[in-house]
Amino acid sequence: MKNTVLTFKEAKKNKDKLTMLTAYDYTTAKLFDESGINSILVGDSLGMVMLGYEDTLSVTMEDMIHHTRAVSRGVKNAMVVSDMPFLSYNTGIRDAVINAGRLMAQGRADCVKLEGGKEVCDVIRAITDAKIPVCAHIGLTPQAINALGGFKVQGKDLDSARAIIEDALAVQEAGAFAVVLECVPAPLASKISEMLDIPTIGIGAGPDCDGQVLVYQDMLGLYKDFTPKFVKRFADVGQQMDQGVRDYIQAVKDGSFPEPAHSFKMDEEIVKEL
Ligand code: KIV
């Protein structure tokens, strides 16, 4: 069954944990959808894990539309969440609504995600007024990496923890249907999850969030440039790919691939005429 904002609402009510993974292309999205994931995030993390940038700041609306479209074509049941990239919603409400609309109309996303707390509540309100569901994202917000001074756990002292609680309440009040909590201490995420009516989706935010999200290259062992502490590796697909490619190289070089089973036959009489 198709996952929607109502699925998220029900899951919160029934204390069913929500599952979300990133994906950025048709093949991967189809695989994850068939595995039964609730939601696929076309994250702007694609800047790093797909395009090789050092952060998410260079990702464009065109990049996001391109990858969101590919994911949407592969998905039947998961809810497709598309990230609004850096500066696509901070230059005015009109720009924000138009860009959110493009991710829905051209990317065929089911909803959008954007980073920030109180300071983006006007934008969240305007986008939800346009009937586009918004997932908020607070705590460590990678698009603000230069303002935050690096990829660091947020909300460790009393003032910053209180500020994150205020952000969580504010984005809920502005109409967000869910909120990603990134890199905040587990007890703070637990408290926020208890306080909110909307589901919290944690990444580096402990076990008490209403759901979890991970970047798939991290949890499947495909991206090894940097592995955050909160990542658990559920499989080493990178190692399997490496072995597969080595076996392929060897087989091509020693002539054991392709075998007759991988080749096309032709009428002997025609071959003689050639
Ligand atoms: O872009 C992304 O992948 C994200 C997750 C880290 C939540 O925003």
Residue 11's CB is within 10 A of a number of other CB atoms, namely: 19
Task: Examine the domain organization and report whether 209 and 261 are in the same domain.
Answer: no
Q: Which two tokens stand for residue 17?
A: 């944990």
Task: Examine the domain organization and report whether 151 and 255 are in the same domain.
Answer: no
- Ligand 1 center to 269 CA (angstroms): 60
Give the closest residue to 89 by CA, choosing from 116, 62, 71: 116
Is residue 173 over pLDDT 90? Answer: yes
Is residue 75 over pLDDT 90? Answer: yes
CATH number, domain with residue 148: 3.20.20.60
Give the closest residue to 180 by CA, choosing from 58, 39, 34: 39
User: Rounded mean pLDDT of the chain?
Assistant: 97
Q: Which are the catalytic amino acids?
A: 182
| Ligand 1 near 109 CB (within 6 A) | no
- Ligand 1 center to 243 CA (angstroms): 29
The pTM of the full predicted model, rounded to 2 decimals, is 0.96
Task: Examine the domain organization and report whether 213 and 78 are in the same domain.
Answer: yes
Task: Examine the domain organization and report whether 258 and 144 are in the same domain.
Answer: no
Is residue 270 over pLDDT 90? Answer: yes
Atom of ligand 1 at shortest distance to CA of 215? 3
- Domain containing residue 119: 5-235
